[in-house]
């Protein structure tokens, strides 16, 4: 499958403003960036960073006072991994990679005691494996 996408963001700032954007195509197995173009007007230096565990791409710019336009256009080829439902399994907590665990911690936005009660009442009766994974996705 191939996807073409783009966006254009415009801002007006009264002073120098740092911006951090997450609009570029993600880098991960199964997705190839066939074409991509990022432009800013006025032209500014771009500092890039990629999150190792997700492939999310961020960039920071320091915008001068006045108008700023950021445009990103891209095309990606996606080759999804297809599996038989019976082969989809849950990963026990003890086997979740440490790099993933940091994204699962409770916070003021996701209180673990309330989430746990909701998860058990909503998904607790589903059979482990594909049925529960599919239930979570739906």
Domain ranges in the chain?
2-78, 85-137
Sequence-distant (≥ 6) Cβ neighbours of residue 105 within 8 angstroms: none
Instruction: Read off the pLDDT of residues 67-121 as tens digits, 9 standing for 90 and up.
Output: 999 999 999 999 988 888 878 788 888 898 887 877 777 777 777 778 888 888 8
CB 10 within 8 A of CB 64: no
Inform me whether the pLDDT recorded for 10 exceeds 90.
yes
Burial degree of 36 (CB within 10 A; 0-12, 13-18, 19+): middle
User: How many Å is the maximal CA-CA distance in the chain?
Assistant: 57
Under DSSP, the state recorded for 115 is H
Q: Per the confidence metrics, is the pTM higher than 0.85?
A: no
| pLDDT reported for residue 24 | 96
Inform me whether the pLDDT recorded for 65 exceeds 90.
yes
Q: Which CATH number fits domain 2-78: 3.40.50.1980, 3.30.70.1380, 1.10.287.810, 2.60.40.2250?
A: 2.60.40.2250
Q: From CA 137, how far away is CA 133, in angstroms rounded?
A: 6
pLDDT band at residue 124 under the 50/70/90 scheme: confident
| pLDDT reported for residue 132 | 81
| pLDDT reported for residue 93 | 81
Q: Which two tokens stand for residue 32?
A: 């190839």
Under DSSP, the state recorded for 79 is -
| pLDDT reported for residue 6 | 96
Q: Which two tokens stand for residue 96?
A: 């979740």
Three-state DSSP class for 67? strand
| pLDDT reported for residue 127 | 82
Instruction: Read off the pLDDT of residues 24-57 as tens digits, 9 standing for 90 and up.
Output: 999 888 899 999 999 999 999 999 999 887 889 9
Under DSSP, the state recorded for 19 is E
CB 88 within 8 A of CB 133: yes
Q: From CA 81, how far away is CA 91, in angstroms rounded?
A: 17
């Amino acid at each position: 499958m191939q996807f073409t996408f783009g966006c254009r963001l415009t801002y007006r700032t009264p002073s120098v403003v740092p911006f951090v954007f997450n609009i570029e195509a993600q880098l991960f197995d199964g997705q190839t960036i066939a074409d991509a173009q990022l432009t800013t007007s006025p032209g500014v230096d771009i500092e890039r960073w990629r999150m190792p565990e997700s492939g999310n791409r961020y960039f920071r710019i320091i915008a001068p006072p006045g108008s700023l336009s950021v445009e990103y256009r891209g095309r990606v080829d996606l080759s999804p991994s297809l599996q038989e439902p019976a082969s989809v399994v849950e990963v026990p907590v003890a086997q979740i990679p440490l790099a993933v665990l940091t994204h699962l911690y409770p916070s003021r936005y996701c209180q673990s005691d309330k989430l746990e009660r909701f998860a058990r009442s909503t998904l607790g009766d589903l059979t482990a494996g594909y049925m529960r994974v599919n239930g979570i996705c739906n």
